[in-house]
Homo-oligomer: A and B are copies of this chain.
């Protein structure tokens, strides 16, 4: 590969796709193509100060061999159908759906946590769930210092995690109708989101037996996910020590009270309320917030892409 990397975005018109295009333009990429379903094909999407034509995301177009890297922001079944064609065409696929996250041999990557795994790919790298990404950014330095024993987390997830249409619905909703929801598919006694959060955290942290219990909740906020977290450690770790570790952690900012609104449109995982867990001996409680469309999705995928593009440049 030489010169500009040739990047494709599949799902360019969705909530995460739109943020992805904005971030790519900001970062100076120029050889970028937008793909979407036949419904959107033929239209355009803004890209920096110009517009990109929307191409239909067909197997043929993705397999044509003229893309180095393809970022997928589509649903799980669309990813399963289309990702293999991009790989067949010689591109590396960074997939934001849950289609490949738990497949053995496919890296599931948060660059700050296990970035080296991105380079061990056979054409596909999976991007984790929007709650897993900030959680592992915070757990990683604490685990290295004191060893994770048990994790409990309850989430406050914004409607943008459920897509652009749900954002429009919240904008139009009478505030008297605002409610909490657990609007995920059920897997036995858990939401799919809860079991994802556990399984993905285990895979990324390489702690296959980590005890982790989650309660995932949708709240009437447009953008930004928050999480209340309790962590029990193998060894003592004071709130001050944890705070110092988190101040030094990449992509993490320590603040007094993290909120979705403060996290929105930033690249950082905000963490605060770091204090002893009054219900355990070696435990801490904390609260975190993160822009679920940005570091929780689009930015994390771009950071994965940049690890891969850097390797392609070295190999070229």
Q: Which residues of A contact B (CB under 8 A)?
A: 150-152, 154, 156, 170-171, 173, 175-182, 189-190, 198, 211-213, 215, 217, 219-222, 226, 228, 230, 232, 239, 257, 259-261, 273, 275-280, 283, 285, 287, 289
Contacts and interface: CB of A to CB of B under 8 A. Distances in A.
Nearest to A182: B257
A299 to B, nearest CB: 21
B279 A150 contact: yes
A181 to B, nearest CB: 7
B222 A219 contact: no
B275 A212 contact: no
23 contacts: A150-B279, A150-B280, A154-B154, A154-B228, A156-B217, A171-B175, A173-B175, A178-B220, A178-B221, A178-B222, A179-B221, A179-B259, A180-B219, A180-B289, A181-B259, A189-B275, A212-B278, A212-B279, A213-B283, A217-B226, A217-B228, A220-B220, A220-B221
Contacts of A289: 180
A20 B275 CA distance: 38
Contacts of A176: 171, 222
B211 A260 contact: no
A213 B279 contact: yes
Contacts of A232: 279
Contact of A213 (B179, B222, B259, B278): B278
Given A179-B260, A189-B275, A219-B219, 18 more contacts: A150-B280, A154-B228, A156-B156, A175-B222, A178-B222, A179-B221, A180-B221, A182-B273, A189-B273, A212-B278, A212-B279, A213-B279, A213-B283, A215-B228, A215-B273, A215-B287, A217-B226, A220-B220
B226 A180 contact: yes
Contacts of A177: 261
A232 B230 CA distance: 14
B239 A152 contact: no
